[in-house]
Amino acid sequence: MSVHDTSVPSHAADRARQPGTLPHPDAVLADLLARSDVADAEGSDGPLPDLLTDLLGPEVEEARRTRREERTRLAAYLDDLAAVLRAGGGAGVRVLRHWLDAACANDRLSRPEPAIHGAAALYDYARDRTAEIAMADPASLLRIQLEGARRWAGEQLNPGGRRD
């Protein structure tokens, strides 16, 4: 048996371990399932985590490295976004407000059937950018929302100037 021997080996794995033969994939799967049952009975410190780490070591390390890089990239992006939002004179807030308006962030989704899918995609885009703004600089998000509310109130008071 392997270094990660369990006290209750599976019968399918024993049959598959004939000298000079490769184990059948079903036998290997049955062995992993049996080890998983033993690991569940023993708790999370059983032999299965070590076995999976041995089998999937390179893939696990690659996934960890990728997650670290993504977190680093997101943190740098949010820092950059916060710097833009804090640009002097409110220029960054105005630009992002313009982009959110262009993405129909504050428009209604109810549209004629052919246009609804495009409107929903724009709304999803705007919602994602709004979440990023909230993470980067919550005070700027409030300024953007206040500006949107003022614009909406102005449109309600002046229905002739309203855009749809």
Whether 39 has a pLDDT exceeding 90, the answer reads no
Q: Report the pLDDT value the prediction gives residue 25, as an integer from 0 to 100.
A: 62
What is the average pLDDT across 106-124?
78
**What is the count of structural domains for the chain?**
2
Helices and strands: H and E segment counts in the chain: 6, 0
Q: How confident is the model at residue 38 (pLDDT cuts 50, 70, 90)?
A: low
Are residues 2 and 61 located together in one domain of the fold? yes
| Distance of alpha carbon 29 from alpha carbon 122, whole angstroms | 45
Q: Point out the domain boundary residue: 85, 102, 136.
A: 85
Whole-structure pTM value: 0.53
What is the average pLDDT across 66-89?
91
Q: Point out the domain boundary residue: 85, 119, 140.
A: 85
Are residues 114 and 36 located together in one domain of the fold? no
Q: Point out the domain boundary residue: 85, 112, 143.
A: 85
Share above pLDDT 70 across residues of the chain, in percent, rounded to a whole number: 63
| Distance of alpha carbon 54 from alpha carbon 60, whole angstroms | 10
Residue 126 CA: distances (Å) to CA of 42, 63, 73, 152, 156: 48, 29, 20, 17, 22
- pLDDT higher at 13 or 30: 30
